[in-house]
C-alpha cells in the first residue's frame, strides 16, 4: 500500500471514529434527556404514593375531623351541616312526584311515579338550558322562567291534576339550610351573579314564582346532590347509610345519630337520626400525599387554601395535574419537542381527555398521540413518550381514587361500620360472636360512573383498607341521577308526614 492509500485509510478511520463519537454522544445526550423525565416521574410517583398504611391514616383523620365538625361550628375543615332530613324513603312511597335540579347553566325537570314495594313505575326527565341573560338578571326573572318551564313540562306529560303536589328541589349552590324546605343562598358560583337573591330563601323565591304562574305545588324538600343520592339509595336498600358524589366536584353525606350532633345540643328528630352534609371537599390532613404540583395548582386557583381534598380527587382538577407534570418534563428535556404554550394554560387538559389517554388500548397509543397534538399542540411524540404520559395519568388517577376510598372508609369508621368498633356499633350480637352489619354506600358522579380505571382503583382500595374479613359486608352501589330522582323521593317520603326536627 502506497503512502496515498495509507493516508486515505487513516483518514477514513479517523472520520469513522468521529462519526461514531458523534453518534455515541447523541445517544448519551438522548439517554440523559430521557432519564431526566423519568426522574421527574419517579419523584412525582413517590410523593403521590398511597400505601395502605397512609390510607388508614387518612381514614382516622377523616373520622376525627367529622367528630370535631359535629362538636362545634368552625371546629373542623368539615362543615358537617344539618340537612333537616331525618325521614329517608323506604320504598313504600306511592304516587306522582316532581323535582327540579338547578346545578349550573342547565337545569332538569323530573317526574316520577312510585308504586310502592321499592318500585318506580315511570320516570320522565327533561333538560333545559338557562338563558345566559337570566344568570345575571333578577331572582324574579330567573324563577319565573323555571316555574313556567315546570308548568309546560307538566302539561306535556299529560298530567294537569297537580293541585297540592309535592316538589323536591335540588339546588347545587352554597346554601345555609334552616329547615327541610328552606335555606338562604350564601353566594353564587358557576357563572351566576344575581345580587338581589344572596341571603334570600331560595325555596321562598321558587314558591312565589310557582304561585305567579298558577302552579299549585308545594316545595317539600330542599336538598343537594349527595343527599338526593342517599335518598335514592335508601329507597332501594334500607342498609344505605352514606352517599358520595364524585364528578366535576365532590361531596358526601351520611346518616348520623341526632345525639351525636353535639353542636346542636337538644336536637330532636322523629327518627332519632339526621342526614349530615359533610362538604367533604374541604377536608384536609397532613397525611394527604400533597406534591409540588398540588401546591402550585392550589396557589393559582380561585380559592387558595380551600377545598384541598376536592383538588386532589375530583374531575375538575385531575387533568390539570397531569398537564402540570408534562409541563415540568418539557422544561427538563426536549422529549416533547419545542415547549408548547398550551402547556402553560390552566385547565387546557380536561379530565375526560386525560381519562381517554389513560384508557387508550390501541397498540401504538394513537388516542394519546391525537390528544397531545390536538389539545396541547405536542406533535410526533414517540411511542415510549406516549407510554410515559399514560403512566402520569395512572399515578394521578390511582392517588385520587384511593384517597376517595379512604374518605369513604373514614365515614364508615365514624359510624362504626368499618369493623374496628366492635359489637357496639359495626356488629350486631348473634349468640357469643358478633356478626357484621351489611352496609351500603350510594355513589354517583361522572368521574366514578364514566372512568372505568378510576372506579376499579377506588373499589379495590375500599376492600384493601377494610380487609378481607370486613370488605364483603360493604357494598358501593351506583345511583344514577340520584340528585334528581332522590329529591322527588324526599318530597314523597316527607309528604303529609309529621316530621319533627327541633333544635332546643
Question: What is the tens place of the pLDDT at every residue in 160-174?
Answer: 565 558 899 999 888
Exposure string over 400-436, b if 16+ CB within 10 A, otherwise e: bbbbbbbbbbbbbbbbbbbbbeeeebbbeeeeeeeeb
How far is the C-alpha of 263 from the C-alpha of 253, rounded, in Å?
A: 17
Q: Is 172 marked active-site? A: yes
**Is residue 69 a contact partner of residue 78, using CB atoms and an 8 Å limit?**
yes
Q: Among residues 248, 202, 254, 201, which one has the least CA distance to residue 226?
A: 254
pLDDT of residue 28: 52
Helices (H) and strands (E) in the chain, counts: 14, 17
Q: Which residue matches cell numbers 357494598?
A: 475
pLDDT of residue 382: 94
**Is residue 333 a contact partner of residue 33, using CB atoms and an 8 Å limit?**
yes
pLDDT of residue 42: 96
pLDDT of residue 187: 83
Instruction: Note the pLDDT tens digit of each residue in 280-293.
Output: 999 999 999 999 99
pLDDT of residue 160: 58
pLDDT of residue 376: 96
Segment holding 16, helix H or strand E = helix 3-47
pLDDT of residue 16: 56
Cβ-based neighbour number of residue 468 at 10 Å: 8
* Given 172, 314, 333, 493, the catalytic residue: 172
Q: Is 21 marked active-site? A: no
pLDDT of residue 139: 93
What global pTM score does this model have?
Answer: 0.88
Residues of the chain with pLDDT under 50: 18, 20, 22, 24-25, 422-425, 429-433, 497-504
Q: Is 108 marked active-site? A: yes
pLDDT of residue 251: 93
**Is residue 442 a contact partner of residue 236, using CB atoms and an 8 Å limit?**
no
* Given 86, 201, 225, 294, the catalytic residue: 225
* Given 56, 76, 86, 108, the catalytic residue: 108
How far is the C-alpha of 436 from the C-alpha of 428, rounded, in Å?
A: 6
Amino acid at each position: 500500500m502506497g503512502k496515498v492509500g495509507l493516508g486515505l485509510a487513516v483518514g477514513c478511520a479517523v472520520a469513522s471514529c468521529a462519526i461514531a463519537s458523534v453518534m455515541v454522544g447523541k445517544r448519551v445526550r438522548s439517554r440523559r434527556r430521557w432519564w431526566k423525565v423519568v426522574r421527574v416521574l419517579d419523584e412525582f410517583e413517590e410523593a403521590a404514593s398511597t400505601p395502605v398504611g397512609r390510607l388508614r391514616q387518612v381514614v382516622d383523620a377523616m373520622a376525627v375531623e367529622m367528630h370535631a365538625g359535629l362538636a362545634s361550628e368552625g371546629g373542623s375543615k368539615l362543615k358537617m351541616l344539618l340537612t333537616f332530613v331525618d325521614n329517608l324513603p323506604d320504598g313504600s312511597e306511592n304516587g306522582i312526584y316532581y323535582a327540579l335540579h338547578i346545578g349550573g347553566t342547565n337545569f332538569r325537570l323530573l317526574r316520577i311515579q312510585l308504586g310502592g314495594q321499592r318500585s318506580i313505575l315511570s320516570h320522565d326527565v327533561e333538560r333545559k338550558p338557562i338563558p345566559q341573560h337570566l344568570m345575571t338578571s333578577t331572582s324574579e326573572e330567573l324563577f319565573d322562567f323555571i316555574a313556567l318551564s315546570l308548568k309546560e313540562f307538566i302539561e306535556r306529560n299529560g298530567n294537569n291534576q297537580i293541585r297540592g303536589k309535592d316538589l323536591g328541589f335540588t339546588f347545587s349552590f352554597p346554601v345555609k339550610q334552616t329547615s327541610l324546605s328552606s335555606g338562604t343562598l350564601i353566594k353564587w358560583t358557576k357563572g351566576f351573579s344575581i345580587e338581589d337573591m344572596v341571603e334570600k330563601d331560595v325555596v321562598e323565591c321558587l314558591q312565589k314564582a310557582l304561585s305567579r304562574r298558577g302552579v299549585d305545588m308545594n316545595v317539600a324538600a330542599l336538598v343537594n346532590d349527595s343527599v338526593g343520592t342517599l335518598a335514592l339509595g335508601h329507597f332501594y336498600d334500607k342498609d344505605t347509610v352514606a352517599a358520595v358524589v364524585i364528578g366535576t366536584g365532590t361531596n358526601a353525606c351520611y346518616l348520623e345519630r341526632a345525639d351525636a350532633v353535639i353542636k346542636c345540643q337538644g336536637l330532636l328528630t322523629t327518627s332519632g337520626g339526621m342526614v349530615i352534609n359533610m362538604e367533604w371537599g374541604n377536608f384536609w390532613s397532613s397525611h394527604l400525599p400533597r406534591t409540588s404540583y398540588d401546591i402550585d395548582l392550589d396557589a393559582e386557583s380561585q380559592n387558595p387554601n380551600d377545598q384541598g381534598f376536592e383538588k386532589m380527587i375530583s374531575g375538575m382538577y385531575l387533568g390539570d395535574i397531569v398537564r402540570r407534570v408534562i409541563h415540568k418534563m418539557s422544561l427538563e428535556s426536549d422529549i416533547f419537542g419545542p415547549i408548547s404554550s398550551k402547556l402553560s394554560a390552566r385547565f387546557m387538559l380536561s379530565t375526560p381527555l386525560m381519562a381517554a389517554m389513560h384508557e387508550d388500548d390501541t397498540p401504538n397509543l394513537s388516542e394519546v398521540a391525537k390528544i397531545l397534538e390536538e389539545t396541547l399542540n405536542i406533535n410526533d411524540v414517540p411511542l415510549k413518550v406516549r407510554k410515559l404520559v399514560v403512566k402520569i395519568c395512572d399515578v394521578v388517577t390511582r392517588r385520587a381514587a384511593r384517597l376517595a376510598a379512604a374518605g369513604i372508609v373514614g365515614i364508615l369508621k365514624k359510624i362504626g361500620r368499618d369493623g374496628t368498633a366492635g359489637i357496639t356499633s359495626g356488629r350486631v350480637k348473634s349468640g357469643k360472636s358478633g356478626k357484621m352489619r351489611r352496609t351500603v354506600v350510594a355513589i354517583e358522579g361522572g368521574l366514578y360512573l364514566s372512568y372505568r380505571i378510576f372506579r376499579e382503583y377506588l373499589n379495590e382500595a375500599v376492600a384493601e383498607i377494610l380487609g378481607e374479613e370486613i370488605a364483603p359486608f360493604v357494598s358501593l352501589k351506583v345511583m344514577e341521577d340520584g340528585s334528581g330522582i332522590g329529591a322527588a323521593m324526599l318530597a314523597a317520603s316527607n309528604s303529609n308526614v309529621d316530621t319533627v326536627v327541633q333544635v332546643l
